[in-house]
Structure 1
Amino acid sequence: MTEPGAFSLDGGCDCGQVRYRMHARPLFVHCCHCRWCQRESGASFALNALIESDQVEALAGEVMLVHTPSESGQGQQIARCPHCHLALWSHYAGSGPAVKFVRVGTLDTPDALPPDIHIFTATRQPWIVLDPGTPAVPEYYDREAYWPAESLARRRALLPQIEAWQASKRKP
């Protein structure tokens, strides 16, 4: 596990009202090229750092959570600055509030978190050239095959929280 204080990255919105700090390395960083992420981001891909929510500290301001449709049909909660409306992170239906998908571009030093994998490359824009040293898959991937052992262990520690959240969302 990451030593306390051994890792720290700050980020925030454009207007400066919301600031946050990541206290651990992300579990994994996705560069998603699906059409949904292209539309949602207004760009050619979305770059998200997956991290335990308790490893992200609010330094200033509060976010507003906006329920937004997702390709899965289950939706996502996007945390936005209530003033400038910049998207800072999402909580997807699969893991609920236990995991944040932090928008890497909102970090003060986004270069610190290059992608660990490119996903949904079958729908990437054809003019984007991928780094041959970074794994790339046409759709999604097998987590066990790509995540480091430490990240898999951290995810296993989150499973009771994720499963409890999922159970609370099931209809009786």
Structure 2
Amino acid sequence: MQLDGGGADVLGFGGRREIGRHPLHIGGGVRKGDRLARGRGDAMQDAAEIAGGDLSGGCACGAARYRVSRAPIFVNNCHCRRCQVQTGSTSVVNMFLEAECVDLLSGRLSEHVVKAGSGGDHIICRCTACGTALWSYYPRLGRLGAGVRVGTLDDPARVKLDAVIFTASKMPWTALPEDIPCFEATYNPAELLPPDRFSRLEALIVQRAAGGG
């Protein structure tokens, strides 16, 4: 199973780990010195990140506004070639969480379908007025999980980045952070995420395997 981190369809890694009958593909490169294990303190910090209220955001023209009512399961900065082409930039930062926790407050969205790294449909939701991409649905979780573009948040600094992925295809002048785990491809979410957030991901995987989304 691949963790959709961007156009690369990141809910998917080399190797396998079984969650019941539903496989999670894992693997990917890691920089020397990366520390993957995260404990209870990290989980408490994650829960406190939006304690001051819900996250809100919107498009460039202001027509489309949305609210996020729960902290993200994980946040990736993806440097894969698909994300570069789809955004016209060096990379994209997506925060992933249950789609039911993302509410469109105003405006209208149009859906645009491109291919994810797995070959499945990656649905990008854009403001119909200005075309700003607000979030995506990726094939592995379907409409159960949303990948919200962190740059469209009113206060992106409230979101903590978990990982930088697909650094093997990053643009040569792009600098990587020293304090965030960086991967040449993808990573094992069971090793990187605190237990409470990983259990939320597992729940979505099971729902998807049962035909949800």
The alignment's TM-score, normalised by the length of structure 1, stands at: 0.89
2:50 matches 1:39: no
Residue number in structure 2 paired with 1:109: 155
- RMSD across aligned C-alpha pairs, in angstroms? 1.9
2:170 matches 1:134: no
Residue number in structure 1 paired with 2:190: 144
- By relative contact order (CA 8 Å, sep 6+), the higher-ranking structure is 2
Deviation at 1:150, TM superposition (A): 1.3
SS in 2 for 1:126: coil
Structure 1 runs of 4+ with >3 Å offset:
none
1:8 to 54, 66, 75: 54
Tell me the number of residue pairs that the alignment of Structure 1 and Structure 2 aligns: 166
For residues 99 and 132 of structure 1, the distance between their equivalents in structure 2, rounded to whole angstroms, comes to 29
Deviation sequence 1:107-164 (CA, Å, 0-9, x none): 1111222421000011111211111110001001111111121111112222332113
For residues 60 and 32 of structure 1, the distance between their equivalents in structure 2, rounded to whole angstroms, comes to 28
Residue number in structure 2 paired with 1:75: 121
**Which runs of 5 or more residues in structure 2 are unaligned?**
1-42
Residue number in structure 2 paired with 1:89: 135
Q: Where do 1:26-65 residues align within 5 Å?
A: 26-65=72-111
Paired-residue identity, %: 37
For residues 165 and 104 of structure 1, the distance between their equivalents in structure 2, rounded to whole angstroms, comes to 28
**Which runs of 5 or more residues in structure 1 are unaligned?**
none
Larger relative helix fraction: 1
